[in-house]
Amino acid sequence: MPVWAWWGLISIGLFAVGWLYGRLSRPPTPAGHGPWDTSWAVYFSPNGGATHAIIEGIRSAQQTILVQAYLLYSTRLAGALVRAHQRGVQVHVILDAHAQPHHPPVQAVALLLGAGIPISLDARHAWAHDKVMILDGAIVITGSYNWTVAAEQENGENLLVIRDPRLARMYTENWRRHARHSTPYRATRPWWVCLRVFWGYLTRRRRKRWDSDMGERG
């Protein structure tokens, strides 16, 4: 074989080895940097940015946000859902019926109720332990991460953001199965609130009657 052919083979071999080495030694994309830049991103608690990732996901939603939450104490996340609802996104939340107080509701849940966001309680299971959010039928956010302050600041948790319409469709079907056997949230007011409303009603009636009597005397 001519010398130039040997040199050609050596050059090709060196090029192939260099290309393969470059591929294998290339650092992977950092997890959690830019949740919508790739098909997935992962976050770990404590203080790993999971709450921020959920809020960014809620802000990005244009049509629907479907939620299954075991616990909902985070007013930051509840506030983000309220703002999405106010700009026209359809929001519906399913909560475990027993995991947290519901009568009266905790502050985060009260924010949703006050905004008119539909909430359902799932009492079919021992625990409705899902932690899932589906955005626009295309993005799934799930993991061990509960919607609480402790999950962000104290607990060891994980949160996975996956952009995959096929996976989102399966999660949506599961969400709907749970929605069918869940019951709409009907918040009951404490007795003292009912008493105050009744007292206000009596006071208004008394004031109207007094004004009427004064008008007749005048």
- Residues designated catalytic: 129, 131, 136
Distance in angstroms (rounded) separating the CA atoms of residues 200 and 179:
38
- String of DSSP letters for 97-113: SSSS-BTTBPHHHHHHH
Residue 158 near residue 171, CB atoms below 8 Å: no
Pseudo-torsion of CA 160, 55, 175, 154, nearest 10°? 60
Distance in angstroms (rounded) separating the CA atoms of residues 143 and 42:
9
Residue 142 near residue 63, CB atoms below 8 Å: no
Residue 185, classed as helix, strand or coil, is coil
| Inter-CA distances, 178 with 80, 122, 203, Å | 23, 7, 45
Residue 77 near residue 131, CB atoms below 8 Å: no
